[in-house]
Amino acid sequence: MKKITLLLLLFSFHVKAQNLLNSLQVKALNNNFYVFTTYKLIDGQPFPANGLFISTDSGVIIIDGPWNLNLKQALFDSISTRTHKKVKLAIVTHHHDDRTAALAWYKQQGILTYGYSKTDSICKYKRETRPAAVFTKDTTFTFAELVMEVMYPGPGHSADNVIIWFPEIKLLYGGCFIKSATATSIGNLSDANLVEWKRNCYRVQSFYPDAALIIPGHGDFTKTGSAPLDQTIQLLEKLVPRK
């Protein structure tokens, strides 16, 4: 009986995991800003990755992309249903595949893709799909009525991670540079610079003290204010204690 119960539990877990892996979650922040979440198996567990799309008078801008490429069309169908507009511009926030997996597909759809010059260089070195256009320094994009400020805070989760500030609604898209407010681990360290990451988090904290909402690259994004950045700093303080 215990063996049957265990098998049922394992089967139930497998079904739930598969359901998450095949799910696309979209949450509206307001009438124009939407967070989308897709999943990938990490250490045997479905792990979420967040992206953002914004509806403007001239079309939709998408930040990063679906981690699960099987959901790329589902994401675009959702965008079309919600906004009745086409995606015109895509920006990736660093070179890892939870950000860049959809680059080739974006290009096939005729979408202009942007990335930081460091991201482009890394993608070129790894012989992976590169953004079509690059910015070499902190850049303010104006797209129709939308203003977004792309900033390179310095090395952190990766050497090329950028963050994006939307001043109109005081939203900071942190990508993988910022952990969620509920994160208990700093996550993937394969390309991280912990010392610089901690230092640069404090810089970002000083630049955006009035952030109303911060969207992390992974996990919960419902905590308002600086909670995700504060938690990222706390996690880094444990790994890089003050001298």
Q: Give tens-digit pLDDT for 76-101.
A: 999 999 999 999 999 999 999 999 99
Residue 157 has pLDDT above 60, yes or no: yes
Identity of the residue numbered 166: F
Measured between alpha carbons, how far is 8 from 86 in angstroms, rounded to an integer?
44
Q: Residue 44 has what pLDDT?
A: 85
Taking residues 236-243, report their average pLDDT. Answer: 87
Which alpha helices (H) appear in the chain, and where do they start and end? Answer: 2-21, 72-83, 97-100, 103-108, 117-125, 194-207, 227-239
- pTM value is 0.91
| pLDDT (0 to 100) of residue 3 | 56
How much is the pLDDT for 43? 86
Cα(59)–Cα(28) distance, integer angstroms: 17
Is 10 within a domain?
no
Is residue 108, in this structure, part of any structural domain at all? yes
- Please check whether residue 2 lies inside any domain of the structure: no
What pLDDT, on the 0 to 100 scale, is given for residue 1? 54
pLDDT tens for each residue of 1-50: 555 554 444 444 444 556 677 889 999 999 999 999 999 998 888 999 99
Question: Is 1 domain-assigned?
Answer: no
Asked if residue 172 belongs to a domain, the reply is: yes
How far apart are alpha carbons 49 and 219 in whole angstroms? 7
Q: How far apart are CA 207 and CA 64, in angstroms?
A: 23
**Dist CA 160 CA 56 (whole Å):** 27
Give the Å distances, CA to CA, from 92 to 15, 117, 131: 31, 11, 8
Q: In which order are the strands placed within the sheet that holds 112-116? A: 25-28, 33-42, 45-56, 59-63, 87-91, 112-116, 133-135
Domain range for 110 is 25-239
pLDDT in tens, 171-229: 999 999 999 999 999 999 999 999 999 999 999 999 999 999 999 999 999 999 999 99
Residue 35 is part of a domain; what is its CATH number?
3.60.15.10
Domain count, the chain: 1
Residue 13's pLDDT is 42
**Does 81 map to a domain?**
yes
- Residue 113: which region, alpha, beta or left (left: phi > 0; alpha: psi -120 to 50)? beta
What 3-state DSSP class applies to 41? strand
- The answer to whether the Cα torsion of 158, 120, 137, 113 is positive or negative is negative
In a domain, 19, yes or no: no
Structural domain contains residue 12 = no
